[in-house]
Amino acid sequence: MKQFREAVEARDEQAMRALLADDVVFTSPVAFKPYPGKAITSAILRGVLRVFEDFRYIREINDAGGHDSALVFEAVVGGKKITGCDFIHVNDDGKIDDLMVMVRPLSGAQAVAAAMGAQFDQIAAEAAAESEGVSQ
């Protein structure tokens, strides 16, 4: 999805959040249980911006119908070079309702798990604050 790619490459947190559906589901490359909701997904994406170094997309694959995209990326996390893919589905309103990330190799996935794990208290606090702000 071109708009998401541009927002991530620009490190534009507001633009990334604006592309998410309220009912988006984020599936992590290192956590078993998916994370439902815009607040937690946008907080996770901000965490990713903090821990992924030298991030760049290297390929974009889109379906003819415009609902599914795969964005292949490279980055460095904890000194490990990783290759990954953001699998994106957009709803009929053009908002991302499913975002699944996969990474390789295993040592890179372990580095992602450690780096994001260290961020998770902050991610959870940001998501809670965003949820409270939205519900008021």
Under 8 Å CB-to-CB from 56, ≥6 apart: which residues? 9, 73, 74, 75
Residue at 34: amino acid letter: P
Strand partners, 26: 35, 99
Ordered by where they begin, the domains of the chain are 2-127 (3.10.450.50)
The rounded distance, in Å, linking the Cα atoms of 134 and 20 is: 14
Closest CA relative to residue 102, chosen from 89, 115, 84: 84
Model confidence over 21-63: pLDDT tens digits?
A: 999 999 999 988 999 999 999 999 999 999 999 999 999 999 9
82-113: burial string, b at 16+ Cβ within 10 Å, e else: bebbbebbbeeeeebbbbbbbbeeeebbebbb
pTM for the predicted model, two decimal places: 0.92
Model confidence over 81-105: pLDDT tens digits?
A: 999 999 999 999 999 999 999 999 9
